[in-house]
Amino acid sequence: MYGIISFERKKGCNISSTYIKQISKKAGISININQLSVPECEQKRKLATKKYKHLKKSAKQSREQFLVDLAEQHSQIGNSTISSIISRMNQNEDLQASYRRIKIATKPYYGATEKVLLQDENSDSEEITTDKKRIEIALCNG
């Protein structure tokens, strides 16, 4: 956020300096943006975006490992209640992820008919078809 705002201000957009100071204070950034040129700002923004994308790929595993380590630290200290709470947090996150997967897998398809089970009139054989013309004929004939 800070990089985007400061870069936009460098390009000439109307952004308050106090707003930039507030964001830099929240983010813990001590870079003076006035000392950087526009290409340097753009380069720093690209590097930050690349780093973010790299870290985002491993964020789930990092969080799980962090929670496990935190629970172990508290159990070694003797805070078993905090350790059990952290373990429950990890289990709840796993449950939420599995519920999301189940919801997506069982979600009904509200679009057009994509396949139909057809019975041959001459024999007792059945076949599933995905051919659009045959589906349309089968649905019209009932």
Q: How many other β-carbons are positioned within 10 Å of the β-carbon of residue 71?
A: 21
Q: Kindly state the tokens that stand for 99.
A: 């519920």
End-to-end CA, the chain: 58
- Give the single-character DSSP code of 78: T
pLDDT digits (tens, 9 = 90+) for 7-54: 566 666 666 667 767 766 776 666 666 676 777 777 877 887 888 888
Q: How many other β-carbons are positioned within 10 Å of the β-carbon of residue 36?
A: 16
pLDDT digits (tens, 9 = 90+) for 61-108: 888 888 888 888 888 888 888 888 888 888 898 899 888 888 876 766
Please count the CA atoms within 13 angstroms of the CA of 48 that sit on its side-chain side.
Answer: 12
Q: Where are the domains of the chain?
A: 2-57, 59-105, 110-142
